[in-house]
C-alpha cells in the first residue's frame, strides 16, 4: 500500500506539472499570436511608408530641406531689412509734415 500512495503522489505531481506546462503553452501561443499580429501591422506600415517614398531619395530630400531653410532665413533677413527701411522712410515723412 505504501507504494500505491507514493505512485499516487508522484502521479499528482506529474499531473500538476502537465497542467502548468499546458497553461504555459497556451500563454505562449497567445503571446506568439499577438506578436505575429504586431509584426504584420509593422510590416504593413513599412510597406506603406516605402510606397510613399518610392522614387524619392532621402538624401535629396534632406538637401532640399536644407536649401529651403536657407532660403527661409534669407527671406526673413530681407523682410527685416525692408521693415527697417520702411520705418526709416516713415520717420522722414513724419519730420517733413
Q: Where are the domains of the chain?
A: 1-55, 57-97
pLDDT above 70 (res 7): no
pLDDT value for 53: 77
- Please report, rounded to a whole number, the percentage of residues in the chain having pLDDT higher than 70: 92
pLDDT above 80 (res 51): yes
Give the Å distances, CA to CA, from 30 to 24, 26, 35, 37, 40.
10, 6, 9, 11, 15
Alpha-carbon distance of 33 to 54, in angstroms, equals 31
**pLDDT class for 4, splitting at 50, 70, 90?**
low
Residue carrying the nine cell digits 503571446: 31
Cα radius of gyration rounded to whole Å, the chain: 37
Average pLDDT over residues 41-55: 87
pLDDT above 60 (res 1): no
Amino acid at each position: 500500500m505504501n507504494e500505491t500512495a507514493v505512485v499516487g503522489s508522484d502521479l499528482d505531481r506529474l499531473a500538476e506539472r502537465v497542467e502548468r506546462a499546458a497553461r504555459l503553452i497556451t500563454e505562449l501561443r497567445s503571446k506568439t499570436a499577438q506578436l505575429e499580429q504586431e509584426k504584420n501591422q509593422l510590416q504593413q506600415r513599412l510597406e506603406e511608408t516605402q510606397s510613399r517614398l518610392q522614387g524619392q531619395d532621402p538624401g535629396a530630400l534632406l538637401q532640399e530641406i536644407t536649401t529651403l531653410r536657407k532660403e527661409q532665413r534669407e527671406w526673413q533677413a530681407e523682410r527685416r531689412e525692408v521693415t527697417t527701411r520702411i520705418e526709416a522712410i516713415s520717420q522722414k515723412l513724419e519730420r517733413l509734415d
